[in-house]
Structure 1
Amino acid sequence: MGHNGRMGRPNRQAERRAEILRAAKAVAVRDGAAGTTLRAIATQAGMEPPAVLYYYAGVSEIIRELVFASSDAFIERVESAVEEAADPIAGLRAAIVAGTTGGLDSHDSRVLYEFWPASLRDESMNDADRVLDQREAAIYERIIQRGVDNGSFRPALEPRDLASALVALEDGLVMDILNGTKSRDEVVSLICAVAERLVDTPLTNTEPG
């Protein structure tokens, strides 16, 4: 990206892009998708709109990068939670807890849900949504398959289908947390109750988080 003799510039450009991305996230959380405009992002970043356009081609590019960054951060939290689990039963509960609540405090879940409707019209945003679901479903599938292999789970569906169903259930119920109709604990308990029926095994009853 850079040239010899201009060593500082690529790092500075990356820093400014990161600052703009943080500003966009703050605006999205505060004002929603409709309020995430170029001017709002620039104001939040302490810049003029033309200066933002030096680093990004436009607000659509900023939003796409923000969505992909939030997706990556979300998956990293789920993977980290699962890695700490001692067995498939604990792993499945850890995946449910992290998948349901892991993006709330960081506002990554808010970002993903705010811009989800854009995936209906924007192919690259649709890719982000689809890839996120595939990555999370793959985590669930690995856990379920391990549980099948060691005799912990007797799933009612094929592991891949069960994993997809759990991700879809999570997608719908996290919206209830965001809009205030259900608490985190209520949603975790509900998804765990469904998962228990689907794998025919009680899950470890530890406090979420």
Structure 2
Amino acid sequence: MARPKQQDARREELLRAARAVILRRGLHATRVRDVADQAGVATGTVTYYFRELDDLFDLVFAEAVERFCTLREQDAASRPDAREQLVSLIRTGLPTGPDDELCCLLYEFSPQARRQPTDARLRRELYGRQVDLYIRVLGAGAQAGRFTLRRPAAEIAANLVALEDAYGYHVIAQTFMTRETAEQHLFGYAALATGDSTLTV
């Protein structure tokens, strides 16, 4: 039997292989054999570590929570006031560009939320934590007199997260929206919603 460290290394190797294949071929065109070929192992090795390719979503979700919730919370908390915290949230809520691997994987898995209750629950949690983070910052800014909220904080927060998701898709798909343009639009909406005209890119 492989030792725990060896098992962890093999699991990470297979995870990298699965991500590479999904990014190249798309989730629904990816088979266990493709992952095995990418990693240079037998198909049985893949199924030993991942019962189904859908299991990969749990790991992708964990990375998304770390990046879009935990790290954003920490970064915002290190800022001196609500305005700087809001600027930080907006700047860290979008893909870095069309080759942002984690965001590409998240959009590959998106259609599953409609069919898979577990995936839908995880996505709700990710969405909810991001909305809550915006609500806290908006509320703190309003209480400090920095923001004059034009709509309820919960509504503004939900719109900001929804815009991040929508614009992020176009950044990844390279349709009509670059990251720079998406960021400008988010700052523009935030400026209107908070009454803070200094919110700019």
Normalised by the length of structure 2, the TM-score is 0.89
**Does 124-133 or 99-108 show the bigger shift?**
99-108
- How has the CA–CA distance of structure 1 residues 70 and 35 changed in structure 2, closer, same or farther, with 3 Å as cutoff? farther
Q: Is the 8 A contact 1:38 1:59 kept in 2?
A: yes
Deviation at 1:157, TM superposition (A): 2.0
Task: Give the counterpart of 1:191 among 166, 171, 186.
Answer: 186
Q: What does residue 27 of structure 1 align with?
A: 21
Deviation at 1:192, TM superposition (A): 0.7
Q: What does residue 38 of structure 1 align with?
A: 32
Q: Is the 8 A contact 2:97 2:179 kept in 1?
A: no
Q: Is the 8 A contact 1:173 1:187 kept in 2?
A: yes
Q: What does residue 114 of structure 1 align with?
A: 108
Task: Give the counterpart of 2:46 among 47, 52, 56.
Answer: 52
Q: Deviations over 1:93-114 (max 9, x none)?
A: 1111100135865411111111
Q: Is the 8 A contact 1:192 1:203 kept in 2?
A: no
Query: Partners in 2 of 1:134 and 1:120 — Cα distance?
Result: 17
Deviation at 1:143, TM superposition (A): 1.0
Query: Partners in 1 of 2:198 and 2:22 — Cα distance?
Result: 36
State the aligned residue count: 199
Q: What does residue 134 of structure 1 align with?
A: 128
Query: Partners in 2 of 1:99 and 1:43 — Cα distance?
Result: 34
Amino acid at match of 1:141: I
Q: What does residue 58 of structure 2 align with?
A: 65
Deviation at 1:193, TM superposition (A): 0.2
Q: Does 1:182 align with 2:177?
A: yes
Query: Partners in 1 of 2:198 and 2:101 — Cα distance?
Result: 27
Unaligned runs of 5+ residues in structure 1 are: 1-5
Amino acid at match of 2:142: V
Query: Partners in 2 of 1:93 and 1:36 — Cα distance?
Result: 38
Deviation at 1:203, TM superposition (A): 4.0
Q: Does 1:201 align with 2:196?
A: yes
Deviation at 1:164, TM superposition (A): 1.1
Normalised by the length of structure 1, the TM-score is 0.86
- How has the CA–CA distance of structure 1 residues 84 and 104 changed in structure 2, closer, same or farther, with 3 Å as cutoff? farther
